[in-house]
Copies of this chain bind each other. A is one copy, B any other.
């Protein structure tokens, strides 16, 4: 297993495989400035090392938590350039947490309505479909 090897000079596909990401996504992150452009071999191939992998993993974990690429850029800057970024980073997370809670609230509203109409539809033999009538505004 190369996962145990010294990680130096890997190529894009290997980095993507090691981190479970799509290799096109890695390029995209470089293009939009989330990841540094790695050095190139004589033939122009990207040669990553473990610092690139570490940074990519940061981005991927942040994406899993729903941070936008812009927020991640900010978090990376905080992680890089400051001694004590905790208050700022916490604020970014707190704002994002509020976003997520708002989304959950929205989705729960949708879930409630949909659950109800699906239940009203029953076995689907009604002549007037409750879902369609709801959407046309016959009932709230």
Do the beta carbons of B136 and A75 come within 8 Å of each other?
no
> How many A residues have CB within 8 A of the partner chain?
53
Chain A 48-73, CB-CB to B under 8 Å as 1, else 0, gives 00000010011001101110000000
Cβ B100 vs Cβ A117 within 8 A: no
A7 close to B (CB within 8 Å): no
Determine if B89 and A121 form an interchain contact, defined as CB atoms under 8 angstroms apart. yes
- Using CB atoms, name the residue of chain B closest to A137: B57
Q: How far is the CA of A90 from the CA of B124 in the complex (A)?
A: 7
Are A111 and B101 in touch, CB under 8 angstroms?
yes
Q: Closest residue of chain B to A78, judged by CB?
A: B132
A22 at interface (Cβ–Cβ under 8 A)? no
- B61 near A132: Cβ-Cβ < 8 Å: no
| Contact A84 B114, beta carbon cutoff 8 Å | no
